[in-house]
Structure 1
Amino acid sequence: MQSRVTIVDVAREAGVSVATVSKVLNGKDGVAGATAVRVQGVIETLGYESSIVARSLRSSRTNVVGILVPEFEPFSAEVLKGVARGIGETQYELLAYAGAGARLHEGWERRSLSRLSGTLIDGAVLVTPTVTEVATTIPVVAIDPHTGTSRLPSVVSDNDDGGYQAARHLLDLGHTRIAFISGRPDLESSRGREAGYRRAMTEAGLAVDPALVVAGDYQREGARRATAALLDLAEPPTAVFAANDLSALATIEEATQRGVDVPGGLSVVGFDDVPEAARSVPGLTTVRQQMSEMGAVAAAMLLDLLRRSEPVNPHVRLGTELVVRASTAVPRR
């Protein structure tokens, strides 16, 4: 394996001292113009790049921002695209980091920030953090924090309204026995989506049957178990609103495996509008949250903080939109 190019290699190739290369790298005076041009040429030819840690030791800045996630799944992947877009025209580079087993441990963000802040990143976007009371020396912005709005600048979706739109769509089609496969009970986003579902049912004059509200934990296997339990009821639902697309797609898988036609025998609505929603068969009706835009807005807020200015609005709530595809239909009579 080819060894990493070092500052010594650059100095040797350019015929100058290591100190001269260091001055060129850091934009210091005391180097003749022709020499600086020659050193820069060698740097580009050899592909030399100083380490992030060395850079931070010299200047107390790394010019790197981090996006820290508990795990890489469809939601965080779309948010990542938005953060990358948000910093695309700046001098900052982006580091995506997922702590091992972080989804299972409250406080994962504290450990991740402790490892990375200062020496590897200048600021961070935390995606679905479990806690927002974090002691850190760098600016931090939270996306969809577990506990909702906090002292940290944050970006969230209007989950209550999104849940309402999903249930309202199924009610408008004529469904009355509508199940809800919830997300994680510790997440504000899941609670908001359930609140919207319940609000729509109440407005329609329908009581929510407790047997039709089942936890899926935002996970594929959890959603399949929840769907199986619902379909095994003496009076199964005619429609399911799942708290995220991953759960909704798992609901379709489980129903199809049991011989239940979607949408003929069971209508299904998700939440997120991840790319897989449009590609599924049938296409998934879902509530679109602006995942990429959440990332871009969070990146803009973080850049404001890095410039030592406060965001104009430290707590941003983005709207949602119902996207109707082929997984919902009027119920069979």
Structure 2
Amino acid sequence: MDQEKQSVTIQDVARTAGVSVSTVSRALNGKSDVAKETRGRILSIIEEMGFTTNLAARSMRSQKKNLIGLIMPDIAYPFAIEVMKGVNRAIAESEFDLLVYTTGNVRKSGRAHHERKYVSLLTKSITDGVIIVAPVVGEFNTDEPIVSIDPVMSNPTNPAVHATNYQGSMEAMEYLIGLGHKRIGYIGGRVELESSNRRLLGYRDSLKKANIPIDEKLIASGDFTTETGISCSRMLLSLPNRPTAIFASNDQMALGVFQVAEEMGLRIPEDLSLVGFDNIPESKYLGLTTVDQFISEMGYMGTQMLIKIINGIPLDEQTYRMQTRLVIRNSCRAIDARD
């Protein structure tokens, strides 16, 4: 077999650099007893030769791996992208590297099984701790460091970060009610998530607070994807007495409402007011009024919490609640009693 096709070993790196294998190993693990010039030469040779360390083998040699695992249901959606931005910023400020695992689809069957499998794999082999985003599992059977972002429960057994979903929902609804809207459609998210249930509760309680009867026909069940935003808004906007406003419980589904409104010849906000939840970058360009839950900051905070746990630093609080804020743009208008 040609030399170019053979795997480069740590012995090859040591031979080329003119140092011992143990010196290469210490350089890779960031040991302070390796001279700066020697370390630089070794790393340069590693890059040139394409040498990669075996993470599992490395973890067995060192108690601390300087590696964090990130488990996500789907990295293609805006929520996940924003979380990763925050995680990436925290990683860049730290001595840790990041390893990402994903099932590739929020609708994929066996999510709970995959989450438990990934957590077990990462915490018992190659990482110092794990961040898990929007998990459907409420409790993991491990003593290793875990932080969840947007957990399935309000008070999970492991440290967590989530937004003040109920307050954010109430603020959005109070804004629409203040504009004179009484028939407000609602598109819910994934029913297994606490964040989704808290937003629905905020919708219901705000109507009760305003003495507006709750019409169950105005409540549609989505799953935080654009596709269900489309199907749910078609149902709501096809009602004989359609809503004058829709509150989509995330911006991704609100994008579906925009699409259906255009198909039906309805103008936003002239014919239909619309509010979302998340404040993803797309919402700004669409002029969507939405609830900002500072997703990137949630990712950043969750990573910082995990690093503290790994380094043995006590957390100020086990659950960090990110305060939401209503961002008013131009997707809503006031109506009067005649509308």
- With structure 1 as the length reference, what TM-score do the two structures score? 0.91
Per the TM alignment, residue 328 of structure 1 is displaced from its structure 2 partner at its CA by 0.9
Distance 1:319 1:293 in 2: 11
CA distance in 1, matches of 2:212, 2:156: 34
Separation in 1 of the partners of 2:32 and 2:158?
40
Gapped runs of 5+ residues in structure 1? Answer: none
Alignment of 1:45-124 (within 5 A): 45-47=45-47, 48-72=51-75, 73-101=77-105, 103-104=107-108, 105-107=110-112, 108-124=114-130
Determine which of 144, 149, 159 is the counterpart of 2:150. 144
Which residue does 1:245 correspond to in 2? 251
CA distance in 1, matches of 2:32, 2:256: 62
Instruction: Assess, with a 3 A threshold, how the Cα gap between structure 1 residues 29 and 69 changes in structure 2: closer, same or farther.
Output: closer
Q: Of 298, 314, 320, which aligns to 2:318?
A: 314
Counterpart in the other structure of 1:278: 284
**Residues 224 and 28 (structure 1 numbering): CA distance in 2 closer, same or farther, change over 3 Å?**
closer
1:258 aligned onto 2:264: yes
Look up the equivalent residue of 1:313 and give its one-letter code.
Answer: E
Q: Which amino acid aligns with 2:9?
A: T
The residue that corresponds to 1:161 in the other structure is: 167
Gaps (5+ residues) in structure 2? none
Q: Which digits, 9 at most, give the CA deviation of each residue in 1:106-131, with x for residues without a partner?
A: 41320111232233321111111111
For residues 64-88 of structure 1, the C-alpha deviation after alignment (integer angstroms, 9 at most, x for no partner) is 1011111121112111111222232
Residue 230 of structure 2 is matched in structure 1 by: 224
- Secondary structure class of the residue paired with 1:117: helix
Q: 1:44 to 1:83 in 2, by over 3 A?
A: same
Q: Sort the Cα spacing of 1:22 and 1:296 in 2 relative to 1 into closer, same or farther, 3 A.
A: closer
Aligned to 1:267: 273
Which residue does 2:15 correspond to in 1?
12
**1:184, CA displacement in angstroms?**
1.5
Following superposition of structure 1 onto structure 2, how do residues 19-58 of structure 1 map, counting pairs within 5 Å? 19-25=22-28, 37-38=37-38, 40-47=40-47, 48-58=51-61
Closer/same/farther in 2, CA of residues 198 and 28 from structure 1, 3 Å limit = closer
Quick check: 1:141–1:152 contact (8 Å CA) kept in 2? yes
In structure 1, C-alpha distance between the alignment counterparts of 2:312 and 2:162, rounded to whole Å: 23
| Number of aligned positions between the proteins | 328
**Residues 212, 275 of structure 1: alpha-carbon distance in 2 compared, 3 angstrom cutoff:** same
TM-score, normalised on structure 2? 0.89
Secondary structure of the residue aligned to 2:24 is helix
User: 3-state SS of the aligned residue for 2:125?
Assistant: coil
Distance 1:102 1:120 in 2: 25
* Structure 1 contact 268–284 (Cα < 8 Å) conserved: yes
Q: Is the 8 A contact 1:173 1:330 kept in 2?
A: yes
CA deviation profile, 1:9-36 (whole Å, cap 9, x unmatched): 21221234434533554577998x6xx8
AA matched with 1:43? L
Q: Mean alpha-carbon deviation: is it higher for 303-312 or for 220-229?
A: 303-312
Change (3 A) 1:211 1:75: same
Q: Distance in 1 between matches of 2:97 and 2:125?
A: 14
Residues 1:235 and 1:139: Cα distance change in structure 2 (over 3 Å): same
> Are the equivalent residues in 2 in contact too, given 1:143–1:298 (CA < 8 A)?
yes
Choose 17-26 or 129-138, whichever is displaced more. Answer: 17-26
Change (3 A) 1:93 1:251: same
Helix, strand or coil for the counterpart of 1:136? Answer: coil
| Equivalent residue, structure 1, for 2:208 | 202
What RMSD over aligned residues (CA atoms) do the two structures have, in Å?
2.3
Percent identity of paired positions between Structure 1 and Structure 2:
39
2:335 aligns to what? 331
Q: 1:156·1:294 contact (CA, 8 Å) conserved in 2? A: yes
What is the CA-CA distance between 1:237 and the residue it aligns to? 0.3
Distance 2:270 2:7 in 1: 60
**After the TM superposition, which of the residue ranges 238-247 and 113-122 deviates more from structure 2?**
113-122
What code does the residue aligned with 2:72 have?
A: V
**For the residues of structure 1 that align with 2:38 and 2:156, how far apart are their CA atoms?**
52
1:211 aligns with 2:239: no
